[in-house]
Structure 1
């Protein structure tokens, strides 16, 4: 379980992500009061086994947690084809910029988010989004569900083989549904 950046140009300084597994990620999501899930285009093309794509996993995660989902514009059609209506459609850069405001929430309520979950966004872009959260939205914790280590996140999986990554994703669902202790 390597905790070095997957891309060597991504060296963020002394503060790096805590490498976690699926059980810990599930517990983090479970205790979050107002999580937010941001989904990028790679969720449509990343298989996770059993004929499912990463976007199917995100829908299942959103249904279990009842967390609002922000779909990037290119993922909206895939969500709607699966009869799932995301909370908002917004560019990942735009939603990350708005998250810098400690009083902002995607649904307009007076309760801000406390955990932002990034999934299905290209490594380089996600790195910059997480850097923005880390440096300019210190009221938030961030979690990357990528299979590669993201040092700019608060929490990230280490660099994982595909099968281990899928095991960790499934463990999150088990913890959230009460099966994985």
Structure 2
């Protein structure tokens, strides 16, 4: 079994349909292909130095940012902004095919998650996998088996390198 494609938490196995492991090149192509890529960030977004700067760079590259909990505070301190909504509320609204999206201009076609507590992230991806046609991607440093796509289990330094690579490809 590949240790890089194993759930960080043993109880978060997903059954027969597991996430496809993606590296920065494939992840950037998936994000570019999406009409409305959206990134949900959580309170752990400030745990790694430089991670918030990568979120802002993704926003400048055209990724819509949704901040949960108090993570919006970190963005505001850096002079950036985001939509604010809870992870559970956003997940539930994404299961409603009639929901017009957080900005009223339509639902995202790719939902990415980073900096949210692992259990909540896994449940978000599980709900999306089982109750929507929405593609999802975990661009956190932990493999998430219920996402459509996920980074493998990686170190903080490699995580930042992956994000830099994606940002570079999105800005090109």
**Are residues 1:124 and 2:119 paired?**
yes
1:53-85 C-alpha deviation (Å, 9 max, x unpaired): x122111101112x3211113112111111111
TM-score normalised by L of structure 2: 0.93
**Are residues 1:76 and 2:72 paired?**
yes
Partner Cα separation in structure 1 for residue 165 and residue 96 of structure 2: 32
User: Match for residue 64 of structure 1?
Assistant: 61
Pick the aligned partner of 2:19 from 17, 20, 26: 17
TM-score normalised by L of structure 1: 0.89
Q: CA deviation at 1:135?
A: 0.7
Report how many aligned residue pairs link the two structures.
169
Answer yes or no: is the 8 Å Cα contact 2:56–2:80 preserved in 1. Answer: yes
1:95-151 C-alpha deviation (Å, 9 max, x unpaired): 111011234211112x321100101111111011111111111x2000111111100
Q: Which runs of 4+ in 1 moved over 4 A?
A: none
Gaps of 5+ in 2: none
Partner Cα separation in structure 1 for residue 107 and residue 121 of structure 2: 21
Q: CA deviation at 1:163?
A: 2.3
**Are residues 1:168 and 2:162 paired?**
yes
Gaps of 5+ in 1: none
CA RMSD of aligned residues (A): 1.3
